[in-house]
Amino acid sequence: MKLIKSIYKFFDKRVIVPVTRFITFIGGKLKTFNKPLEMLLKTKSSTIIISLIVAVIIFILVDRSNLTLENNAEVLYNQPVTAVYNNEEYVIEGLPETVDITMIGSRANLYLAKQLSNQTITVDLSDLGVGTHQVNLHYKQAISSVQYKLDPSSVSVTISTKQSLTKDIDNEVINLEKLNSKFAINNIKLVTAKEVKEVVDNKEEIKETYEELSTVIVKGKEETIKKVAIVKALINMDQLSGSNAKDGENTVVDVPLVAYDSEGQKMNIELVPSKVRAIVSLESSSKEVPINVVVKNIENIEFGKAISSIEPSIEKVTLYGSAEVLDGINKLDVEIDIPKDLKNDKKYTIAIKKPSGVRELSERTISVNVELGDQASTEVPGVKISYRNLPSGFLVQATQDSTTEVPVILKGVEDVISNISASDIEAYVDLKDITAEGEVTVKLYATGKDSRVTYEPRVSEVKLLIIKK
């Protein structure tokens, strides 16, 4: 009733009253010419009826004018297409995911059609067999007075028998930088959720359990699934950013599985399951190691000068990472590069490089002061020769006219080189290029624990005998 009253009030205010006033005005002008018309217009009920008839006529004329003069068009873009077929048995190729719909009609009808445009575009393939078919797309018209045109309206589809195979899943961690840098990933386990029924106190309850997963089923056309080279679980560390991560097991949900071909291109193919969960085990291990300053190009120091002291601003740094990685790191090397003809003290500011596998360092930069003094030299006898990088399958021994020990010349500041003994020095040969047995002559090198000193073997080459095992 409220709706009817509202409609009546609208027509009374907007249509009947204005038309009645207009007719009354006309009647006043014509009353001297037509007595019967005057009597008719003086009757209130007659005036209302005439006003209503005139209003309806005007409405119809205006509406018809809009229909004939204004023919508008609207386009509905990317409307989804639904195919009816047995998706467990067949694979469909050539069917577009979306189409565009052009609607033609009056503005009022187009407006209403857009509000009702929730009908899907369908194509029925249930009666078709394996092969290529030309099929029409269908759309149920929302309003009969609007014309609907699909683009495309028909397509060629290929129906193939669906095949399947099993592939191993590889893990790939993405957005690792979002994870707290003091955490390291210790282990990742993929699982799927599974509901099981249990009876507790004579009541049946449904509980969720997890089943570990290492393989996925790939489904599709035979020649397509054969192109799948690898399937990866993309584990997004964004879910464990900030305070969301903790020591121990963390769950990452909705992990997508993605198939790639041999060229690394993503494949649009059915995977069962398509999403999994990842149980990510995190650990926050740390280790404090000493700074070891390594001097490069020490020979660039001006003649007669040598390094008297190397003073780093920090002696130790804390590393954060997995316990396995940290166990293999006992010191952190920091390199300083001596410029050509250095003759005065120099201060270096160096960015500390993170070793491979280390997540974070307690310090990012270090300052190193290098002080110079007057150069002296001495000779240390009896330094044993060692053999580096000897290929497997070979043995090495000194020849009759060679030695297993050499003297090494040290150059540096007097109070530095005076404290160095033969046990602090290594003379060595690099045998990485050895490929056959026999007598060889190889270059001799020397190095030592103190990087302020230069080491030069008195003998530049030695003869060795290479023997196969």
> How many residues are given for the chain?
469
Quote the pLDDT of residue 2.
Answer: 56
Q: Are 358 and 380 within one domain? A: no
Q: Are 296 and 249 within one domain? A: no
Number of other CB atoms surrounding residue 437 within 10 Å: 15
Per the structure, the complete domain to which residue 140 belongs is given by 72-161
Q: Are 380 and 318 within one domain? A: no
As a whole number of angstroms, the distance between CA 276 and CA 294 comes to: 48
Nearest to 268 by CA among 283, 258, 278, 254: 258
As a whole number of angstroms, the distance between CA 279 and CA 346 comes to: 51
Total domains in the chain come to: 5
**Alpha helices (H) in 298-399, listed in sequence order:** 323-327
Question: Which CA distances in Å does 319 have to 150, 177, 240, 359?
Answer: 63, 17, 21, 8
As a whole number of angstroms, the distance between CA 261 and CA 390 comes to: 41
Low-confidence residues of the chain, pLDDT below 70?
Answer: 1-52, 54-56, 58-70, 117-119
Quote the pLDDT of residue 118.
Answer: 67
We report the CATH number of the domain holding residue 360 as 2.170.120.40
CB 161 within 8 A of CB 91: yes
We report the CATH number of the domain holding residue 101 as 2.170.120.30
Q: Select from 69, 84, 101 the last residue of a domain.
A: 69
Supply the pTM of this predicted model.
0.56
Q: Are 174 and 271 within one domain? A: yes
Q: Are 177 and 276 within one domain? A: yes
Q: Are 41 and 57 within one domain? A: yes
Q: Are 179 and 279 within one domain? A: yes
Q: Are 94 and 45 within one domain? A: no
Quote the pLDDT of residue 42.
Answer: 56
Q: Are 461 and 382 within one domain? A: yes
Quote the pLDDT of residue 45.
Answer: 64
Quote the pLDDT of residue 134.
Answer: 94
Q: Are 130 and 197 within one domain? A: no
Q: Are 361 and 397 within one domain? A: no
As a whole number of angstroms, the distance between CA 225 and CA 165 comes to: 8
As a whole number of angstroms, the distance between CA 41 and CA 19 comes to: 13
Quote the pLDDT of residue 110.
Answer: 83
Q: Select from 356, 372, 388 the last residue of a domain.
A: 372
Q: Select from 283, 316, 333 the last residue of a domain.
A: 283
Q: Are 357 and 390 within one domain? A: no
Q: Which two tokens stand for residue 57?
A: 């006529």
- Placement of tokens 């390291």 in the chain: 184
